[in-house]
Chains A and B, each alone.
Chain A
Amino acid sequence: MAVTVRIPTQLRELSGGVAEISADTGTVSEVLAALNTAHPGFAERLFDDKGELRRFVNVFVADEDIRFLDGVATPVTDGQTVSIVPAVAGGV
């Protein structure tokens, strides 16, 4: 039972240059914790001092922003992809 985590360029130094990492199913919180166990250093980059996701870190599960879902409690099921994406925007 595995999910895929997509790593943005900025964090690939932590994943040994790899763009995708496999993890067990669970909540977003659990998946990211597992990521940090396998590749120490992720947690301090993704979460602030209070343990909240940094406000310029966007996380998507199956292409949906987790702020539209259940936040870090959103479940990630078998075969789904978790994407870590910097906040980027165009427009005015």
Chain B
Amino acid sequence: MAHVNSLRCRECGREYEVAAIFTCEWCFGPLEVAYDYDAIREAISPEKIANGPLSIWRYADLLPVDRNPAVDLGAGFTPLVRADRLAAELGLGEVWIKNDTVNPTNSFKDRVTSVALAKALELGFKVAACASTGNLANAVAAHAAHAGLQSFVFIPADLEQGKVVTTAVYGGNVVAIDGNYDSVNRLCAELADTYPWAFVNVNIRTFYAEGSRTLAFETAEQLDWQAPDHVVVPIASGSLLTKIRKGFDELVKVGLLDEANVRVSGAQAEGCSPVARAWIDGTDTIKPVKPDTIAKSLSIGNPADGYFALDAVRETGGGLSAVTDDEIVDGMVLLARTEGIFAETAGGVTIATLKRLAAEGVVRPDERVVAYVTGHGLKTLDAVVDRGRPTAVIAPTLDAFHDAFPPEQFDH
């Protein structure tokens, strides 16, 4: 049973009843789910969570959905990997990677989609839809298939073939739009006004975004119910970073953590860094940009939750950085080489930012640090093809192998 009181505007505080609405009618600010934390505190315990499913639904008491069983393809409860070799290279102490590459469709979007479609079923919708450049498209198509919902996924027409295939294979409708992601998004906002469909990142966004909090819940549980000192989170719309911070604070409210003093740092690509730019310039105004970066899953030039992400970084004493495309690829390779985790470009942004913030002394060696790696490297192979050549190409003979790899240099 969901412990939800209402939906509340983050900007002006006006309250609304639970429904498929996403912005405040008065000021257009984003709506957020307001929970009954006393009721959650009564209902929840570490034991109950430990006995729950191995997915985000082990935190059902903290999710805004009544429906049970929910739509569960196994999103979440991904590994928290101790990253000592990476830490050593960066001059840090205790570093952990939250490896969200291993979700059902290989990105953290499975978390938010699982919550969104469960809510969509509860609200009586028959069709799931979204605007996406790839990760969300995969997640919505897969979860809609699993839930027996029809789906409409809207993508830019120039999307890579791999992302089209890994969406279309689930059998829903994939509509390619002649335009960029921002045009797709605007069309979806109009369609959401016209059709009674559950657009997960439009009219269901209020519930959808809540799924990101599970990244904080899991991190705390996997650290034996302790909060990290510092987290590094990629920013596109700013929602993920905002919700991870909220998640740690909520665990204190419901009695699962004694305290949470988590510094929150944000990662952006230089080619799409409206939030980092505001931070660097020391201004309160976030100016939209036209994205131009290999980190396409972070390419939102007009971030809806950018102001809240900026506030979260400022309030917690974190930092923000904008890294170049070369640094992103270096970050992907560094993580793969040191920890055996192959991240998409967004993960490269996170690792490159962690590296910069460590060098600047913002992330410190005495801190327990968690870096959020949100999507799998196979999704953005094009970015690393130049780094993925064979070490040697040889004839199929022992001599040829010895020529390429002199035996005296190796144990045998």
Residues of chain A whose beta carbon lies under 8 Å from any beta carbon of chain B: 8-10, 45, 54-58, 65, 67-68, 85-92
Q: Is the CB of A57 within 8 A of B28?
A: yes
From B28, B188, B235, B298, A56 is in contact (CB under 8 Å) with: B28
**A55-B186 contact, Cβ under 8 Å, with A88-B22, A90-B201:** no
Which of A54, A58, A87, A90 has the most chain B CB atoms inside 10 A of its CB? A90
Chain B residues with CB under 8 A of A54: 11, 27-29
Number of chain B interface residues as a range: 35 or more
- B324 interface residue (CB < 8 Å to A): no
Q: Is the CB of B300 within 8 A of A89?
A: yes
Residues of chain B whose beta carbon lies under 8 Å from any beta carbon of chain A: 11, 22-30, 108, 130-133, 136, 181, 185-186, 188-189, 193, 201-202, 205, 234-237, 239-240, 287-288, 290, 297-300, 302-305, 307, 346, 374
Chain B residues with CB under 8 A of A9: 193
| Residue ID in chain A nearest B193 by CB atoms | A9
Q: List the 6 closest pairs (A to B, CB-CB), nearest first.
A: A91-B236, A92-B236, A90-B201, A56-B28, A89-B304, A89-B237
Q: Is the CB of B201 within 8 A of A68?
A: no
A85 to chain B, nearest CB (A): 7
Would you call the interface of chain B mostly helix, strand, loop, or mixed? loop
Q: Is the CB of B346 within 8 A of A92?
A: yes
| Residue ID in chain A nearest B240 by CB atoms | A92
Supply 5 further A-B pairs (C-beta < 8 A) apart from A67-B287, A88-B185, A91-B201.
Answer: A85-B189, A89-B302, A90-B300, A91-B300, A92-B346
**A88-B288 contact, Cβ under 8 Å, with A10-B23, A58-B302:** no
**A56-B300 contact, Cβ under 8 Å, with A90-B136, A90-B237, A92-B236:** no
A-B contact pairs, 29 of them (CB 8 A): A8-B193, A10-B23, A54-B11, A57-B27, A65-B288, A65-B302, A67-B287, A85-B186, A86-B23, A86-B189, A87-B302, A87-B304, A88-B23, A88-B188, A88-B189, A88-B205, A88-B304, A89-B300, A89-B303, A90-B130, A90-B300, A91-B133, A91-B201, A91-B236, A91-B297, A91-B300, A92-B236, A92-B237, A92-B298
